Structure 1
Amino acid sequence: MTVATSPALGVRDLNVRIPTPSGELHAVRGVNFDLRPGEVLGLVGESGSGKSVTLRALLNLHRPPIKVSGTIAYQGLDLLSLPESRLRTVRGGQISMIFQEPMTALNPVLTVGEQIRENLREHRRLTGKAAVERAAELLDLVGIPSARARLTDYPHQFSGGMRQRAMIAIALASEPQILLADEPTTALDVTIQDQILRLILRLREQLGMSVILVTHDLGVVAQTCDRVAVMYGGKLVETAEVSELFQQPRHAYTLGLLRSLPGGGARRLPLLPIPGAPPNLLHLPEGCPFAPRCTYQTPACVNGEPPLIPITTSRHSACVHHAELPAPQQVTG
């Protein structure tokens, strides 16, 4: 008998609205998902689809005049309604975040060791020698050589890959239950990228963390994630187990992403790029936001925006034609 477990994080009707000189930009539109205990959930999509805005909203990092609404349930709390004093105990303590660009996220005038110890003081109540020892252990844990000696270095003295590792060390200092990773391998060479991803998976196993990994790279998703949520135009358009999604996508946008990837094996197939550009969130098209770029578009696609609905017990889709889509390998033309 399978025992149901509560999600580590439950997101319901999450909306983020950003005022601009041209009008209100609805960057995240009614997003719903659950993060299961111990899983790695990939959040994928093109640049501008709302991935990073969603991730920051989970910790309520947006500030007025940006408006965030919805419910983010964590251990019986709604993170969006918590007062700032309570939220500080969760943010960076129980839920940590690796930001996309470590050179801008790290403080350039504080040593790396001080930035790790700051987290240890705030969330683990460690000070003095104990904090120094733990900071050195963390740098060693993320694979930085001569960890103790590097505690007194500043961020500019680290390479790009080592800065990213330092960011991970800071995020892990509090031994969080949930790790939010915003494109942690962006701009890194493939060797360092592989090391960072393996490190996150190893630490997930050691610490029992749940992870949300934001990326635009489906290769990273295949290597790292258990489940994937595909985002387009500020909304989730498909969620599925990774193996299901790669074998048979159930949204035309997901199919386009998979067909634009180079494949392996002896058989060489042409890449099929998605035509056009992502939608302007200030002026979304009628109906499905992907319809203007979709080769499967019919009048049904523009008669209202399709909702994200369950199509099996393990996956959801917001595509009118989800049952008609071919497998990614079935290339025509």
Structure 2
Amino acid sequence: MSAPINPALAAAPLLSVRDLNVHIPTPGGTLHAVRGVNFDLQPGEVLGLAGESGSGKSVTLRALLGLHQKPIRVTGEVHSGGQNLLTLPESRLRSVRGAQISMIYQEPMSALNPVLSVGEQITENLREHLGLRGRAALDRAAELLDLTGIPSPRARLSDYPHQFSGGMRQRAMIAIALASEPKLLLADEPTTALDVTIQDQILRLLLRLREELKMAVILVTHDLGVIAQTCDRVAVMYGGRLMETAPVTELFRQPRHAYSLGLLRSLPGAGEWRVPLQPIPGGPPDLRAVMTGCAFAPRCAFVTGECRQQEPPLVNVGPEHTSACLHAADLPSPHPAAPAGNAAQPTQIPEVNA
């Protein structure tokens, strides 16, 4: 499966993020969970946020919608629709959530209200943002369940979340998120805990809805296979920072950050000759500590003294390709060569958008 080719994207970004920072107080000190993140999202684009657990992906997503509560502190700018979402009062921000920007969460059983029927949860969104009530709201709710592939949608409106399977709950949550036809969908690990067959169905559904509704998507995942199958562009996060951004095909063919290269080389091999996995040694950085130099330096196979002395800025290294690596131009290919005399295929990289 691959996402359709995205035609020329509009010049004006749908979402523009500048110097986004998230500080989380903890008993052991303040966690700088997101550090100076900058990116633009074009209308209709699917952007993947990739990286290990703890890299700041989900925290970034929640910050975009103002979902962090005090004492968590969020600074920077998140521009959409001519306004900075981070400076809006809560009353105005509620009109943005669900109407212009919607979000689906990792675990639908936790996100859905267990004491309200699925139909009630969809019609609540329709009342709030579209003013639909009564029969009109129920008709639209059934249409949304049908759109997301739930059989007998009218009958399922009265069911409760526990009466749905995991995949159906995820579809119901997508229906709720799409109720007011938002221009942007934030998807936080939408296929977590689903088996591979259901995962594939959900990803195909998101791509189809993206095309039908002309909707942009930010997809958070640690699964590079999901990124390859669904996204136009990818942003790799590590230690709360963006390390690399690139079109998906470009990043998989030739990453320009040592961390991205490490992620690709840790993918399982395929074919008659299987390359041993090359895990990234060590663990993610302590985000409570003051960082000097590149956050990835302690785990990097290409580290030099200069890497430990200064934090590399995110700079252009090619068309629509940025990297925060001092060795961006010198990194090897992620595709290892077969040993002499072995004609088998090297490590197989997941199918990438053509």
TM bracket (short chain): over 0.9
Secondary structure (helix, strand or coil) at the match of 1:268 reads coil
1:137 corresponds to: 143
Amino acid at match of 1:78: N
Post-superposition shift, 1:86?
Answer: 1.3
Q: State the distance in 1 between where 2:54 and 2:10 align.
A: 35
Which deviates the most, 300-309 or 107-116? 300-309
* Aligned pair partner of 2:197 in 160, 178, 191: 191
* Aligned pair partner of 1:46 in 23, 43, 52: 52
Q: State the distance in 2 between where 1:278 and 1:88 align.
A: 34
* Aligned pair partner of 1:124 in 116, 130, 137: 130
Q: State the distance in 2 between where 1:332 and 1:65 align.
A: 53
Q: State the distance in 2 between where 1:107 and 1:58 align.
A: 23
2:38 corresponds to: 32
1:181 corresponds to: 187
Secondary structure (helix, strand or coil) at the match of 1:115 reads helix
1:314 corresponds to: 320
Secondary structure (helix, strand or coil) at the match of 1:205 reads helix
Which deviates the most, 138-147 or 50-59? 138-147
1:98 aligns with 2:104: yes
2:302 corresponds to: 296
1:23 corresponds to: 29
1:247 aligns with 2:253: yes
1:69 aligns with 2:75: yes
1:202 aligns with 2:208: yes
Report matched runs for 1:222-241 at 5 Å.
Answer: 222-241=228-247
Distance 1:222 1:279, change over 3 A: same
TM-score, normalised to structure 2, is 0.91
Amino acid at match of 2:280: I
4+ runs deviating over 6 angstroms: none
| Equivalent residue pairs, number | 332
1:5 corresponds to: 11
2:280 corresponds to: 274
1:79 corresponds to: 85
Amino acid at match of 1:312: G
Secondary structure (helix, strand or coil) at the match of 2:255 reads coil
Secondary structure (helix, strand or coil) at the match of 1:17 reads strand
Q: State the distance in 1 between where 2:13 and 2:200 align.
A: 28
Q: Deviations over 1:241-295 (max 9, x none)?
A: 0000000000000000000112344442221011111111112553111111111
Distance 1:3 1:326, change over 3 A: closer
Q: State the distance in 1 between where 2:302 and 2:326 align.
A: 10
Amino acid at match of 1:301: C
Q: State the distance in 2 between where 1:213 and 1:206 align.
A: 18
Q: Deviations over 1:79-114 (max 9, x none)?
A: 001111111111111100001111111001100100
Counterpart contact for 2:9–2:42, Cα < 8 Å: no
Q: State the distance in 2 between where 1:95 and 1:146 align.
A: 28
Secondary structure (helix, strand or coil) at the match of 1:80 reads helix
Gaps of 5+ in 1: none
Q: State the distance in 1 between where 2:281 and 2:292 align.
A: 18
2:154 corresponds to: 148
* Aligned pair partner of 2:165 in 159, 166, 185: 159
Counterpart contact for 2:9–2:45, Cα < 8 Å: no
Q: State the distance in 1 between where 2:240 and 2:338 align.
A: 30
Gaps of 5+ in 2: 1-7, 340-354
Q: Deviations over 1:182-219 (max 9, x none)?
A: 00000100000000000000000000001000000000
Q: Deviations over 1:51-86 (max 9, x none)?
A: 000000000111111100100010111000111111
Amino acid at match of 2:308: V
Post-superposition shift, 1:116?
Answer: 0.3
Amino acid at match of 1:318: A
Secondary structure (helix, strand or coil) at the match of 1:203 reads helix
